[in-house]
Amino acid sequence: MKKLKIFRSSEKSTSHGYAFLERGKFNEALSEFEEAIGMKQDSTPAWCGKIMALHELKQFEEELATIDNAIELMPAEKDFWMLKGYHYMEKKNFPIAVKYFAEALRLKPDDIEAIMAKADSFYEMGSYYMALQDYDEAIELNPDIPEVWRNRGNALIIIKYYEEALKSFNEALELKPNFAEALYGKGHCLIYMEKYEEALQALNESLKYDPFHACTLFNKSIALSFLERYEEALPVMDQAISIDSKYFRHWIHRGDLLMNLHRYNEAKDAFESAIQLKPDHAEAWFLKGRALHENEKYAEAVESYNEAMRLEKNHDESYYCKALALTKLGKYEEAAETIDAMIALMPDNAYLYLQKAQLFELMDNCHEAINAVNTALRIDPDYAEAWLKRATLHISNSDLNKALFDVEKALKLDADFEDAWYFQAIIFAKKLKNDKALLSLRKAIELNESFKDRARKDKFFGNLVNEPEFISLIK
């Protein structure tokens, strides 16, 4: 018997190739597409299929060469320029990708896929306003694509147009109510808008459709932490970490939650996990120092602060906390040197001179402490806390008239400054002006009842202890 001849066509080989692609048989698909091209050299579907098969086989150099061959053969075919753009997009060479998507659009100006791909490339390279122009153009051509609204919302969040971003996410959800990514974007946006309860609603809704999305869980934990629901936030964060333990900010946030729960050893471990993932991140070293500091491990805390300062010279929080830790260790001169280093970075920061004054006070150097406060007041004459600090230093020097002048200045600047009222009461008590002392003390207690206990123990009120009004005030 004669064997029947099987006639193949380019179209049939192409169809077989796509069937193999769908089944994950990429080598077989490649053979079919090459056969199809051999029969019909200008077959766009066959060339596209070959390019996709090479991509799946991770033969990227040959993939690019095949795209270039296809473009040389059919330069007016938009799909090849798109594939070349996607090739560079995947390699994170977004400026080159934009170039090829633009060429695709030159051939077909109203192609929404090309507009979206170009917009997404602009977004990835940080050109958010350019991305928004393209998203808006895509919406003008077809306002019924939820993904375009979602991506537009994401770009608007980054440039802090939160109200407009929220509108975009809501448009996406009008078109696709169960769109988990748009619900996530809406929740993320609402966190920035400080609408934490509404954010939780959106994020919980997103998790119904995509329960294992680490970023959604992360943002849910953040929303809960802003609501000070730390106990609830921690297991949510742990779930996010179980899905993605390689993102260092997950560990930073876990550490922050543990700090708020006063679980300092665990917080330190979380910050160390962040440091393992990103050893050059100054903030992680600083936060580790804070955890050690709160656990009264001041020497180790100083080491962490030093590393944060080495990585980021202007990390002012590390300088300040290092000075505090050194103070706790009784190393006042080193603490003063650290404050001076901060002042060199921020010479017009009155607060730093106030901290320096407190250090000199601890060193029993009242003269230099007053000089430091004077500098703070030259920088900021309306700094009520500095006026009060100088008043307390004058009290230590028994210079009560100067102390009274300064405390009255503080109260002119802030009539509800509870500490100033309390120290005014002390000054009047020391000047034996008991009626005025009681009036000032009453005002301090009205503002903060904790002054009752403080007044009971304070030696400055010794001459008032038998006064009925004083006894009544401190009950």
Q: What is the pLDDT of residues 375-427, one digit of tens each?
A: 999 999 999 999 999 999 999 999 999 999 999 999 999 999 999 999 999 99
The pLDDT, as a whole number, for residue 359 is: 86
Query: One-letter amino acid identity for 99?
Result: K
Domains, the chain: 212-278 (1.25.40.10), 280-347 (1.25.40.10), 348-408 (1.25.40.10), 416-475 (no CATH)
Non-local (6+) Cβ contacts of 146 within 8 A are 171, 172, 173, 175, 176, 179, 182
Q: Extract the tokens encoding 154.
A: 């994401």
Asked if 141 contacts 110 with a C-beta cutoff of 8 angstroms, the reply is yes
The pLDDT, as a whole number, for residue 2 is: 46
End-to-end CA distance of the chain, in Å?
Answer: 118
Q: What is the pLDDT of residues 186-225, one digit of tens each?
A: 999 999 999 999 999 999 999 999 999 999 999 999 999 9
How many H-runs (helices) and E-runs (strands) does the chain carry?
28, 0
The pLDDT, as a whole number, for residue 320 is: 87
The pLDDT, as a whole number, for residue 202 is: 98
Distances (CA, A) of 301 to 273, 298, 340: 17, 5, 19
Q: What is the pLDDT of residues 19-70, one digit of tens each?
A: 999 999 999 999 999 999 999 999 999 999 999 999 999 999 999 999 999 9
The pLDDT, as a whole number, for residue 8 is: 63
pLDDT at 4 over 60: no
The pLDDT, as a whole number, for residue 5 is: 43
